[in-house]
Amino acid sequence: MYRPSSGATHNMIPTEKHQGFNISPAEEAPKGPVLLMEKQEAHDQFHRGNPHDLTVLLRLTTVITLVNFGETAESWFGEKVTVITTTTINDKILSDLEWADELGFIRVFNPDFHIPCDYPVYKENDPILRRKHVLKCLKGMIWMAQKLYGSKTKILPLIKGETPHERRLCYQVFKHLGINYCVFYGTQYFTANIGFKKLQEDLRTVVSEAPNLKIMLIGLQSPRRLKQLPPQIVAAAGQRWIGEVQLRDVPWSESQRLYKPMQEEIDAALGQGQIPIMAWTSGEEVTA
């Protein structure tokens, strides 16, 4: 069985296990629909005074814009809205972003959760580059979780890797730090015409390898599709909500009212799928 070298994962994990990290346990992490929002008037009108408990997701590029306007998560969204920020942004912008700069914006904006230090990992990349980027993502996550220790912002780590060997690097770090909730970025399955079937297959593979992980999926909010995913998918982030609440077609109050049935439908769809058979046989081997 493949084992990463001692320098691959173990050397980047501090010896004081479980101490000094702001990492969210699954029990406190986001569940249900997560609304990907931008700094737009229609989005602002929807969340302001909304009677429902909203969870929103902001790209770091939007965070930077808001911070430059003097805003924080609380000043922009109020106390009731749960705010998640993410580095799953354009690769070119991402490549120019230093960890310290990312940390600076997150400290000022002060969201409830942050998805840190994304690096592009694509099937067409050289395997050596993919492995390098998986390790960088993990190292950045650990660094960010340490730097944010004692703050309000909890880290939600990304699961990365095109092969079982690459993903095993994530599982080893997750196991060492007691991480039981992560984020799977799925937007590219639709923007790059890969399709739902491949997304479904890849999520089933991840769940088979690490059945104890709860997962937030970015890029899909269709209840019909969510029903077909493993029950470990507990949160669904995206922009389908814009059409569902008829954001620009009806008054704001009506959009806010339309959110409730959408929320209930997504909540009902999550956790409805079947656990892949392989999860009963292969999970322990991979995460050990």
pLDDT band at 10 (very low <50, low <70, confident <90, very high): low
| Cα distance between residue 113 and residue 235, in whole Å | 14
Q: What is the pLDDT of residue 272?
A: 66
pLDDT in tens, 142-175: 999 999 999 999 999 999 999 999 999 999 999 9
Domain spans, the chain = 16-287
Go through 16-29 and write b for each residue having 16 or more CB atoms within 10 A of its CB, e for each that does not: eeeeebbbbebeeb
Q: What is the pLDDT of residue 97?
A: 87
Q: What is the pLDDT of residue 239?
A: 97
CB 33 within 8 A of CB 241: yes
Average pLDDT of 213-224?
A: 97
Q: What is the pLDDT of residue 11?
A: 56
Backbone φ and ψ for 83, nearest 5 degrees, come out as -115, 125
Higher pLDDT among residues 283 and 236, named by residue: 236
Residue 182 pLDDT greater than 50, yes or no: yes
The one-character DSSP state at 125 is: S
Cα torsion 195, 197, 199, 203 to 10°: value is: 180
Residue 53 pLDDT greater than 80, yes or no: yes
Residue 266 pLDDT greater than 80, yes or no: yes
Nearest to 183 by CA among 122, 235, 253: 235
Backbone φ and ψ for 82, nearest 5 degrees, come out as -85, 125
pLDDT band at 3 (very low <50, low <70, confident <90, very high): very low
Query: 19-28, 58-67, 162-171 — which is least confidently predicted?
Result: 19-28
pLDDT in tens, 120-141: 999 899 999 999 999 999 999 9
pLDDT band at 101 (very low <50, low <70, confident <90, very high): very high
What CATH superfamily classification does 16-287 receive?
Aldolase class I (3.20.20.70)
Query: 7-11, 44-48, 182-186, 189-193 — which is least confidently predicted?
Result: 7-11
Residue 283 pLDDT greater than 70, yes or no: no
